[in-house]
């Protein structure tokens, strides 16, 4: 049976993937989903007991992830009486994917019953005082990708034509996260298309616009989550200072190294937060 195309039929594709997930895991509904960014994969080991793990491609609508540091499986995890859906990586716009393909994981999670979505990523820090290895809550974003998963005719089954983004990053969940770790700071995330790291001039532009973090993911998924009415929490791990703010050469391997050093702590943080949602 041919799986619906998430580009032309995003609702049907998400429904079909959610049904395939329920059949493969034996779990009819999950409570919340976590999408793991660059280098965050080991963090999933701290989230609970893995009930099932399967390739995302088995669910239909998911292409193979091609970026180092991103996994290609999805886990069903038991955390107390909650069931977590953990995507062990993501695909990106810069890999050539349509925004609906990038958003397919979030939409599948919502159709699988998830009322809350936790997005994670690796990001460059702009704000003075930010340091590599620091987790930061995203309070808002600036979409500099020029892409959105809502382009074209709206499917009301996914969400309204004109979704409100003013509280897309749930104030309730951010307050909950700060109750778990009072030292968590908040920042505005500037989402770039990539795959080049931002130029120093682009970093200065982003800072002028109000961005305090920069990266190449998250904004498309955040729009899809808000469109679907899901509560959203997003956490960036600062893996480097943004271009022009230090003398270091930006390399993906260095980003992954910082993420690996922080993975256990980040997994514990996310597990605690998830346990309170």
Secondary element (H or E) of residue 16 = helix 10-25
The residue from 20, 43, 70, 109 that is catalytic is: 70
Q: How many CB atoms lie within 10 A of CB 42?
A: 16
Active site includes 70?
A: yes
Active site includes 100?
A: no
The residue from 52, 78, 79, 94 that is catalytic is: 94
How high is the pLDDT of residue 170? 98
Active site includes 3?
A: no
pLDDT per residue over 99-134, tens digit each?
999 999 999 999 999 999 999 998 999 999 998 889
At 250, is the pLDDT very low, low, confident or very high (cuts 50, 70, 90)? low
Alpha helices, H only, 145-212 = 171-180, 200-209
Active site includes 38?
A: yes
Angstrom CA distances, 71 to 53, 140, 223, 234, 273, stand at 12, 26, 23, 19, 22
Active site includes 30?
A: no
Domain residue limits, the chain: 10-276
Structure tokens at 51: 């009930």
Q: Going by CATH, does the domain composed of 10-276 fall within 3.40.50.1580?
A: yes
pLDDT per residue over 141-165, tens digit each?
999 999 999 999 999 999 999 999 9
d(CA 229, CA 168) in angstroms, rounded, equals 9
The residue from 240, 242, 243, 259 that is catalytic is: 240
List the single range of 94-103, 225-234, 243-252 with lowest mean pLDDT.
243-252
pTM: 0.93
Active site includes 94?
A: yes
Active site includes 98?
A: no
φ, ψ for residue 265, nearest 5 deg? -65, -40
Active site includes 92?
A: yes
Report the number of secondary-structure helices (H) and strands (E) in the chain: 7, 9
The answer to whether residue 83 scores a pLDDT higher than 80 is: yes
The residue from 14, 44, 103, 122 that is catalytic is: 122
pLDDT per residue over 159-214, tens digit each?
999 999 999 999 999 999 999 999 999 999 999 999 998 999 999 999 999 999 99
């Amino acid at each position: 049976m041919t799986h619906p195309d998430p580009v032309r039929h995003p609702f049907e594709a998400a429904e079909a993937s959610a049904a395939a997930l329920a059949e493969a895991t034996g779990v009819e509904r999950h409570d919340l989903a976590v999408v793991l960014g660059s280098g965050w994969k080991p963090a999933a080991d701290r989230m609970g007991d893995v009930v099932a793990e399967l390739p995302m491609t088995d669910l239909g609508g998911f292409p193979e992830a091609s970026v180092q540091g991103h996994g290609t499986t999805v886990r069903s995890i038991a955390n107390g009486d909650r069931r977590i859906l953990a995507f062990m990586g993501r695909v990106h716009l810069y890999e050539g994917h349509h925004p609906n393909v990038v958003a397919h994981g979030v939409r599948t999670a919502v159709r699988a019953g998830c009322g809350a979505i936790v997005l994670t990523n690796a990001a460059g820090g702009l704000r003075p005082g930010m340091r590599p290895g620091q987790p930061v809550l995203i309070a808002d974003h600036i979409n500099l990708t020029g892409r959105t998963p809502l382009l074209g005719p709206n499917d009301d089954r996914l969400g309204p034509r004109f979704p409100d983004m003013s509280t897309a990053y749930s104030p309730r969940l951010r307050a909950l996260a700060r109750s778990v770790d009072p030292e968590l700071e908040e920042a505005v995330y500037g989402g770039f298309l990539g795959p080049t790291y931002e130029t120093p001039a682009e970093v200065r532009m982003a800072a002028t616009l109000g961005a305090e973090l920069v990266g190449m993911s998250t904004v498309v998924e955040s729009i899809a989550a808000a469109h679907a009415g899901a509560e959203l929490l997003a956490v960036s791990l600062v893996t480097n200072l943004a271009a022009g703010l230090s003398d270091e050469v930006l390399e993906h391997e260095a980003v992954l190294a910082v993420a690996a050093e922080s993975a256990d702590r980040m997994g514990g943080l996310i597990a605690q937060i998830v346990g309170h949602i």
